Amino acid sequence: MQEANENKELCSVQLGQKIKDFSFSTYNPVTDSFEEHSFSEYGLLRKWIILYFYPADFTFVCPTELADIGKYCKQLKDMNVEIISISTDSKFTHLAWCKAERLLSSINFQMASDTTGEIAQFFGVYDKEAGTALRGTFIINPDSVLVGSEINFYNVGRNAAELMRKMQAYVYVEKHPHQACPAAWKEGEAALTPSEDMVGRVADFMTNKQD
């Protein structure tokens, strides 16, 4: 029973649910300054959020991931998407890491601090024993609803190109709520419009859309 309660505490939000409004400190590499933000302010601006948990500053896989996703920052901003990277490090450690690590020299998104691990616990990625977060990626829509999640263990980095593809798909279906994006869908390709005529005949519809 105790173990069940602990698991419930560690994973408080599920896909399709609204996220809790947390406030957090950040280091902004663009302005080289510390800032205070909350999830609700992004909702008020009708922005999407990519919340990008990583284990720790001054580690090895983490800077490669942040540099990778940073390559898509401008495209994502043009789609009304904000990237927020987040770890249990302090904002001061974020600053020092950015100054020291050349891979981070061109990143231009907020680096949030979750020193208590409270936000990581809410999203179910907190490693209590290590005091760090797993590699968790969460996509939050403008209504503050969690619509996408991916969690990797410490020793495998993520692919920002695939995250970009999924983000384009989420934005597309928000604008076209009666449609759905099939596997490996890419921007500009035809989507599916589910109907009774399509049941058991998806291959036929896919072929027709490609002709």
Residues with catalytic function:
62
Residues 6 or more apart whose Cβ sits within 8 Å of residue 174: 141, 142
The answer to whether 89 and 120 are in contact (CB under 8 A) is no
Positions of E strands within the chain: 23-28, 33-38, 48-53, 81-87, 110-113, 126-127, 132-133, 135-140, 146-152
